[in-house]
Structure 1
Amino acid sequence: MTDRVNREKAKGLCVGCLCANAINGLCSQCLADLPVNRWHCQCCALPLAYSGNGYTCGDCLKLPPPFNRSFIPWRYQYPIDNMISRYKYNRQHKFARPLIEGFASYLESAFQDCRDEKPQILIPSPMLPARRRSRGFNQAQDMAEKIGKRLNIPVDAGVVSRVRKVKAQRGLSREARLANLQGVFEMRASVPERVAIVDDVVTTGATVRALASTLRQAGARDIQIWALARTPG
Structure 2
Amino acid sequence: MEFQDIVYKKEDSVVTITMNKPNRRNALSIDMGKEIKSALERASQDNEVRAVVITGAGSAFCSGIDLPQGEKIVDMTPVEVREEIYAVFQGVIRAIVELPKPVIASVNGPAIGAGFDVCLACDIRIAAEDARFSEFFVRIGTLPGMGGMFFLPQLVGIGKANELAFTGDIIDGVEAERIGLVNKVVPSDQLEKTTEEFANKLARGATKAIGMIKMGIRRGIGSNLSSELEFASFAQSVCIKTEDAREGFKAALEKRRPEFKGK
Compute the TM-score of the two structures, normalised by the length of structure 2.
0.26
| Structure number, greater radius of gyration | 2
With CA pairs under 8 Å and 6+ residues apart, which has the higher RCO, 1 or 2?
Answer: 1
